[in-house]
Structure 1
Amino acid sequence: MTKPWYLYLIECTDGSIYTGITVDVAARYLSHCQGRGARYTRAHPPRQLLGYECHPDRSSASRAEYRIKQLSPPAKRKYALNLTQTFESEVAASSESGEPCQP
């Protein structure tokens, strides 16, 4: 049985939206916050996690990621309204400082 994969959207401090996939959203978001994530989020630090959604496998998550990356920023924000957003407590719990990313 394969692990589920997650598509996630992060709002960056400059207002841009980063889209990615992972098997562990909390760990990946924390790595973005600590400057160990994608090159894009090192240059555009995260402000907040907009949300995430579960996919049955990497292939499905990758296809969803591609579709979302084709959207305009306003369309991405609208899409994020339908994503799971009750996540900050998990990220804070896994953070050494106990705090989620700050702008």
Structure 2
Amino acid sequence: MNFTYMLKCKDESFYTGWTNDIQKRIKQHRQGKGAKYTRGRGPLKLVYLEFYENKEDAMKREAQIKKLTRREKERLTEKDDWKWELQKMGIQEL
């Protein structure tokens, strides 16, 4: 399973990325070992997540989201059905 995700930083900015291990990647970001952009911008909150079978699709979606306007990104974060999918995978909270 691959994921495209968005984090909201303390300064209200968004960070978008992709990973094949969402739990590990979020932990890395929060420990300051993730992307340079998120270092020093914590606390970080996972606000959006999409699921993909292959990394190519996840990477493609990451690029698409990064091109969205702030308002379009905010609209995406209003959806929370991804939380149920995480629970089905046995992941309670990130």
TM range (shorter): 0.7 to 0.9
Contact 1:32 1:46 in 2 (8 A): no
TM-score (norm 1): 0.75
Residues 1:77 and 2:74 aligned together: yes
- 1:4-59 CA-partner distances (Å, limit 9, x unpaired): 21001000000000000001111101110110100001142243100211011111
- Residue 7 of structure 1 aligns to a residue whose secondary structure is strand
Conservation of the 8 A alpha-carbon contact between 1:33 and 1:45: yes
Q: Deviations over 1:45-86 (max 9, x none)?
A: 243100211011111011100110001122111112235135
Please give the secondary structure, in 2, of the residue aligned with 1:85: helix
Q: Does 1:18 align with 2:15?
A: yes
Q: TM-score, normalised by structure 2?
A: 0.82
Give the structure 1 partner of residue 92 of structure 2.
Answer: 89
Q: Out of 7-16 and 43-52, give the one that drifted further.
A: 43-52
More off after superposition, 31-40 vs 77-86:
77-86
Q: How many residues align?
A: 88
Contact 2:48 2:76 in 1 (8 A): no
What's the CA shift string for 1:78-99, capped at 9, x where partnerless? 11223513568343xxxxxxxx
Structure 1, gaps ≥5 residues long? 92-103
1:40 paired residue number: 37
2:14 alignment partner AA? I
What is the RMSD computed on CA atoms of the aligned residues? 1.8
CA contact (8 A) 2:4 2:18 kept: yes
Give, in whole Å, the separation in 1 of the partners of 2:61 and 2:77.
Answer: 13
Q: Which blocks of at least 5 consecutive residues in structure 2 are unaligned?
A: none
In 2: Cα distance, 1:38 partner to 1:45 partner: 12
Any residues of structure 2 matched to 1:41-80 within 5 Å, and which? 41-80=38-77
Contact kept in structure 2, 1:33 and 1:46, CA below 8 Å: yes
